[in-house]
Amino acid sequence: MNLFLPSDETPSFSVVINTFNRANLLGDAISGVLQLDYPKFELIVVNGPSTDNSEEVLKRWHGQIKHLHCDAPNLSESRNVGIEAASGDIVAYLDDDAVPHPLWLRYLARHYANPAIGGVGGFTVDNTGMRWQVRKTVCDRFGNAHYPDDFFDERALNFPGTPYYPSLLGTNSSFRRRALFEIGGFDHTFAYLLDETDVCLRLVDAGWQVVYEPSAMIFHQFAESHIRSVNNKPKTLYPSVVSKSYFINRHGQVEGYGEAADALRSYREEVFRANAWLEEHGNISSSHRVNLDNDLESGMSAGIERANHATIENKMFGDMDVDNIAEPFLQAERADQMRIVLVSQGLPPENDAGIARWTKLLAQGLRDLGIAVHLVSRAQSEPLRRFRDGMWFHEIVRNTTDMSRIAAQYQVPESGMADWMSAVSRELDFIKTFGLDLVSFPIWDLEALPVLDDPELASVISLHTTYKLAKQFKPEWSSRVIYGRTFVDKVIAAETRALKQVPAILANSQAVIDEIENGYDIEIADKCRIVPHGTPDILKSQNITIADKVMRHEYDGIIRVLFAGRFEPRKGYDLALQVADKLQEERQIEFVFAGAEVNPDTARGIKAQLGIDPMQLSNAKFHGEVDRATLDSLFAESDVVLMPSRFESFGLVAIEAMSAGSPVLALASGGLKEVVTEGVSGFLYKNDQQFVKGAVEKLVELANNSVQLSRLQESSHVTFSDHFSIDVMAKSAAQFYRDIIIKREETA
């Protein structure tokens, strides 16, 4: 059964974000709204007197949103500016530190088919993304909140004069625009706190109904503001005390003047106690407490005085300009409705290894194409769900609930695999509520293997190094017999079954397809799509050009040669060291090694193996493990990059070198043959011996021929831009994903 209204019956929405000095979060709030799955909505952003770069952020969406200003740091005034600009049937409010579930408006909309409904609110998730912040709230005439059970039917409280009424949370509230005009919108006295509570009460008293829709979810970060600190400690109490005192005197007196006075007294005592508690527990200083106590006294006086004036003036309405004529409805440009999950146990910056880095870069590229992307990864500590940088991040922990069943069904090790698969499967069930289309996960560790049996989702395995291909370079796996048989061999068998079962495979090179077909004795080429890796433009990010590199070389005559990789045989570190050793007399050639520490112990081991003491190489510097920023700088400073890897399913280091305008000297192994174009972006060598001999000769040649070097640097960067940028990768992957989804829908 379709839970939503037909598109020709859906009301139009004006979504209003009121912001004040939250530029760091505002962009995500806007991006989140523009991912809404709803046919008719406009977005209005009202910027208060912000002193940060909020206006800069808003310029990104010029012409796509209604962008207005409010001169006062007053939430009710800002909300009224939003109403006055709104052209939709319904006005929905979202805070600038919040993001909606993509079906938020659809769930809210279905209640407005009832003409008696004046307001609808949903349930709000806190900053962990895992727990509720607020669900149903009922308030009394003194503005005190009560939290009934989720199954409590608030409709019974919707009658004029009710002592209790539904009170919607501001960041997850919506109101019929006609009803807001009828009550005059928001009351400007409520600069902060109880503004929406006042509106809900006045709507109910005017004969409108206010209800909850549990499925209409908002994810709320609850960020620092001019009122509260990042840990939710009050900076000032004055605006909230004014609101509370005003509310009690405006609405509480119908309960009796004595009851209203008692409510004020109780509130005053409660706040004094809270301030004292904060000081006693070291949360605020003594002087801060004095200031808060003063805020309480002055705020109560101001709130009572304003309430008395309102009573004398017989004020019955809010303070919006009901005669304002809004500009025409500005239909929001809806994002590409394809919604994709990418799974990777690690992600940068904590993990910048191959799969983790590729996954994050692909996600960013898909996001920039307007595709909704969810990244499922392992939590560093506590699990979190968060919308950040225009993407959904789901940081989860291993789960043992379905571990044994998954281990038995898919014949994988329980600990280290089935427990992670269980966690991923459970999170995918949650993401399905967003309208999920496809899940892509890596062959390494088969992280989302059970999704292959999910009839609701399209699935893709991305090819990287597999356990079977890695085994030849992992002698410790064979030496640990029990581990090899109970874990490694089990995973290899599961890889084989998965490769046969999966309907679509994303490969980064023909080489990895060939390696897998040969190694596993299966045919997969007909369901593979080759999409080469993409990487950021290092020259652009470092703000340098090829001309800058040429000028530097001409100035000092030095060729800087970089090796970036771990000191393990697969990466060919030994070959790079041999090249450096043979060129010690060539003072115009310098070597930089990044990726592994060299200390006396490792140096002795290398010398015993190669006869070379790395610590005695006069022409080499060793940086050890470096972060991404440092590595990018080293690429930018390099003139040539060595990549003597003996096995590479693709060769990410090679395209990173090319993105920095550095040609690559590499072994003709695996995917490197598809990345490095001979004489254009580098040179390839057939075996270890030829690499050492050829690299030595080529480096001497380039050191003495700056014209050839600059030509290679230029053509390397052009090759990168044409074939290996993030944009090229994302467009190719997006088309593949779209083809898979369409094919699945056609055969369903």
pLDDT at residue 215, as a whole number: 96
Predicted confidence (pLDDT) at residue 2 exceeds the cutoff of 50: no
CA–CA distance, 385 with 393 (Å, rounded to integer): 6
CA–CA distance, 75 with 68 (Å, rounded to integer): 14
Provide φ and ψ at 186, rounded to 5°. Answer: -90, 150
pLDDT at residue 3, as a whole number: 53
Structure token digits, residue 359? 């996954």
- Tens of pLDDT, residue by residue over 5-43, are 665 678 999 999 999 999 999 999 999 999 999 999 999
Is 171 in a helix, a strand, or coil? Answer: helix
pLDDT at residue 255, as a whole number: 85
**Which of 370-374, 382-386, 472-476 is the least confident region?**
472-476
Compute the mean pLDDT over every residue in the chain, rounded to the nearest whole number.
Answer: 93
CA–CA distance, 416 with 8 (Å, rounded to integer): 50
41, 119 Cβ separation under 8 angstroms = no
CATH number for position 515: 3.40.50.2000
Pick 344 or 482 by higher pLDDT: 344
CA–CA distance, 47 with 727 (Å, rounded to integer): 33
Q: How many Cα neighbours within 13 Å face the side chain of 357? A: 14
**Using 50, 70 and 90 to split pLDDT, how confident is the model at 299?**
very high
- Tens of pLDDT, residue by residue over 174-211, are 999 999 999 999 999 999 999 999 999 999 999 999 99
**Using 50, 70 and 90 to split pLDDT, how confident is the model at 214?**
very high
pLDDT at residue 8, as a whole number: 60
| Residue at 627 is within a domain | yes
518 plus 561 within the same structural domain: no
Predicted confidence (pLDDT) at residue 335 exceeds the cutoff of 70: no
Nearest to 199 by CA among 168, 171, 172: 168
pLDDT at residue 262, as a whole number: 92
**Using 50, 70 and 90 to split pLDDT, how confident is the model at 454?**
very high
CA–CA distance, 415 with 628 (Å, rounded to integer): 31
- Tens of pLDDT, residue by residue over 494-535, are 999 999 999 999 999 998 999 999 999 999 999 999 999 999
37 plus 120 within the same structural domain: yes
Domain that holds residue 373: 339-530
Query: Given 178, 199, 227, which residue is the final one in a domain?
Result: 227
673 plus 525 within the same structural domain: no
497 plus 611 within the same structural domain: no
483 plus 609 within the same structural domain: no
CATH number for position 131: 3.90.550.10
Predicted confidence (pLDDT) at residue 693 exceeds the cutoff of 90: yes
Give me the torsion for CA of 281, 282, 285, 291, rounded to 10°.
Answer: -40
| Residue at 564 is within a domain | yes
Q: How far is CA 518 from CA 115, 203, 483, 509, in A?
A: 67, 71, 25, 15
- Tens of pLDDT, residue by residue over 58-106, are 999 999 999 999 999 999 999 999 999 999 999 999 999 999 999 999 9
375, 344 Cβ separation under 8 angstroms = yes
Identify any residues that bridge with 343 across adjacent strands, giving them in sequence order: 376
| Residue at 251 is within a domain | no
Is 226 in a helix, a strand, or coil? Answer: coil
| Residue at 297 is within a domain | no
- Long-range contacts: 539-547, Cβ < 8 Å, 24+? 539/636, 539/659, 539/660, 539/661, 539/717, 541/632, 542/632, 542/633, 542/636, 542/660, 544/636, 546/661, 546/710, 546/713, 546/714, 546/717
Query: Given 487, 503, 530, which residue is the final one in a domain?
Result: 530
User: 132-134 and 336-343 as β-strands: parallel, antiparallel, unpaired?
Assistant: unpaired
408 plus 514 within the same structural domain: yes
The pLDDT of 266-274, averaged and rounded, is 92
The pLDDT of 225-252, averaged and rounded, is 86
Question: Of 345-349, 555-559, 733-737, where does the model show the most confidence?
Answer: 733-737
Predicted confidence (pLDDT) at residue 572 exceeds the cutoff of 60: yes
Q: How many domains does the chain have?
A: 3
Amino acid identity for residue 372 in this structure: A
Is 626 in a helix, a strand, or coil? Answer: coil
The pLDDT of 724-747, averaged and rounded, is 94
510 plus 551 within the same structural domain: no
**Which of 111-120, 440-449, 649-658 is the least confident region?**
649-658
Query: Given 511, 530, 549, which residue is the final one in a domain?
Result: 530
451 plus 583 within the same structural domain: no
696 plus 548 within the same structural domain: yes
**Which of 225-234, 491-500, 569-578, 679-688 is the least confident region?**
225-234
Helix (H) or strand (E) holding 740: helix 726-747
In the chain the first and final C-alpha atoms are separated, in Å, by 18
Provide φ and ψ at 572, rounded to 5°. Answer: 70, 30
Question: Of 120-134, 310-324, 479-493, where does the model show the most confidence?
Answer: 120-134
524 plus 544 within the same structural domain: no
45 plus 190 within the same structural domain: yes
| Residue at 131 is within a domain | yes
Question: What DSSP string runs through 118-140?
Answer: EEEEEEEE-TTSSSEEE---EEE
| Residue at 497 is within a domain | yes
Torsional sign, CA 134, 135, 141, 144: negative
- Tens of pLDDT, residue by residue over 484-499, are 888 999 999 999 999 9
Q: How far is CA 331 from CA 89, 227, 390, in A?
A: 13, 34, 20
Give the whole-number percent of the chain exceeding pLDDT 70. 98
| Residue at 317 is within a domain | no
- Within 8 A by CB and 6+ apart from 565, the residues are 571, 572, 573, 595, 596, 643, 645, 653
Phi-psi group of 703: left, alpha or beta (phi > 0 → left; psi -120 to 50 → alpha; rest → beta): alpha
pLDDT at residue 746, as a whole number: 84
- pTM for this one? 0.90
| Residue at 280 is within a domain | no
65 plus 197 within the same structural domain: yes
Give the whole-number percent of the chain exceeding pLDDT 90. 81
